[in-house]
Amino acid sequence: MLVLINILQLISALVLIFLVAIQTTKREAGISGAIGGKITTPFKLKPGYEEWLDKLTMWAAIIFFALSIVVATIYMRMK
């Protein structure tokens, strides 16, 4: 069971990283604009997909966070 939860956490982490990486930037200010200039993404999305992608990223983060709490709780009880 613990191995399954760890695998699910790893998959959710990879999905979250992928989702964050393909999102376009909302603004070009800040440290990313100062160091690297304009950031572009190779993925061109249709209108309306950005909101869907934002919601999907939010749910992926919630799932990752919940799995992290479960894994931490299991490891604390094992000690």
Q: What is d(CA 26, CA 54) in angstroms, rounded to the nearest whole number?
A: 12
**Burial bucket for residue 48 (CB in 10 Å: 0-12, 13-18, 19+):** exposed
Tokens (6 digits) for 54: 């934002």
Specify the higher pLDDT residue, 6 or 24: 6
Indicate the average pLDDT of the chain.
82
This prediction's pTM: 0.71
Taking only the tens place, the pLDDT of each residue in 37-49 is: 555 555 555 667 8
Q: How confident is residue 26, by pLDDT bands cut at 50, 70 and 90?
A: low
Instruction: Please say whether the beta carbons of 43 and 25 come within 8 A.
Output: no
Q: What is d(CA 8, CA 10) in angstroms, rounded to the nearest whole number?
A: 5
